[in-house]
């Protein structure tokens, strides 16, 4: 099931888009049409998208080459607008406006739907600390939990 990207975004998405654009410019990047297109694709998708998918979808909005798409996504990741999940997928971070490093995702194994949930930072820190104490594995980035989403659990 592919999501159609319209030129007009619903109000809530437009607000997110504006905030994300703000973040991009305060990170010192110019908001090119390519960046804006990729941003829109990411914001309107509730599934992780691979570079190839992102590139194809963005090209329906504006002409952009694959190398630029890759660079833009890397920059987005660098400034905390997207997370990489699974094997080569990227999702928009719905909590990009918050100052926290720990992000928790629920990944539906049936429909690939992905949802970032906002549990208290203290709780997430506990998970990271426990993992570190237990295995000396330094965690950063996101925690992903797989299962079945609301609409798939049947
Ligand atoms: Zn996040
Ligand atoms: Zn599902």
| CATH code (residue 113) | 3.30.1490.190
Centroid of ligand 1 to alpha carbon of 100 (angstroms): 8
Place 4 in a pLDDT band, splitting at 50, 70 and 90: very low
Please report the sign of the dihedral spanned by the C-alpha atoms of residue 148, residue 53, residue 86, residue 90: negative
Within a domain: 152: no
pLDDT at position 140 is 67
If asked whether residues 120 and 70 sit together in one domain, one would say no
| Ligand in closest contact with the CA of 124 | 1
Answer whether residue 109 shows pLDDT above 60: yes
If asked whether residues 38 and 87 sit together in one domain, one would say yes
Q: How many domains does the chain have?
A: 2
Provide the domain limits for residue 67: 11-92
The set of residues, in sequence order, having a beta carbon less than 8 Å from that of 95 and lying 6+ positions away, is 103, 116, 118
Within a domain: 134: yes
If asked whether residues 58 and 84 sit together in one domain, one would say yes
Within a domain: 153: no
Segment 24-53 mean pLDDT: 93
Centroid of ligand 1 to alpha carbon of 59 (angstroms): 25
Answer whether residue 138 shows pLDDT above 90: no
If asked whether residues 75 and 118 sit together in one domain, one would say no
Q: Residue 34's domain is classified under what CATH number?
A: 1.10.10.10
| Ligand in closest contact with the CA of 85 | 1
Answer whether residue 36 shows pLDDT above 50: yes
Within a domain: 119: yes
Centroid of ligand 1 to alpha carbon of 11 (angstroms): 21
Centroid of ligand 1 to alpha carbon of 47 (angstroms): 14
Within a domain: 5: no
Q: How far apart are CA 78 and CA 29, in angstroms?
A: 12
pLDDT greater at residue 40 or residue 138: 40
pLDDT at position 32 is 92
If asked whether residues 114 and 88 sit together in one domain, one would say no
Q: What is the mean pLDDT of the chain?
A: 86
The size of the chain, in residues, is 154
Centroid of ligand 2 to alpha carbon of 154 (angstroms): 10
When mean pLDDT is compared across 36-40, 89-93, 111-115, 134-138, the lowest value belongs to 134-138
Within a domain: 31: yes
| Ligand in closest contact with the CA of 110 | 2
Residues 23-32 have pLDDT tens digits of: 999 999 998 9
Q: How far apart are CA 126 and CA 102, in angstroms?
A: 11
Place 1 in a pLDDT band, splitting at 50, 70 and 90: very low
Place 92 in a pLDDT band, splitting at 50, 70 and 90: very high
């Amino acid at each position: 099931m592919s999501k159609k990207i319209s030129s007009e975004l619903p109000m809530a998405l437009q607000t997110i888009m504006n905030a994300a654009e703000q973040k991009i410019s305060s990170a010192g990047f110019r908001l090119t049409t390519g960046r804006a297109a990729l941003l829109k694709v990411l914001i309107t998708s509730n599934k992780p998208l691979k570079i190839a998918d992102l590139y194809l979808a963005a090209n329906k909005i504006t002409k952009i080459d694959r190398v630029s798409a890759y660079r833009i996504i890397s920059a987005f990741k660098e400034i905390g607008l997207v997370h990489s999940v699974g094997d080569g997928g990227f999702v928009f971070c719905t909590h990009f406006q918050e100052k926290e490093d720990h992000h928790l995702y629920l990944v539906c194994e049936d429909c690939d739907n992905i949802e970032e949930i906002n549990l208290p930072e203290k709780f997430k820190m506990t998970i990271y600390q426990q993992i570190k104490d237990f295995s000396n594995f330094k965690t950063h980035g996101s925690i992903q939990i797989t299962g079945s989403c609301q609409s798939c659990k049947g």
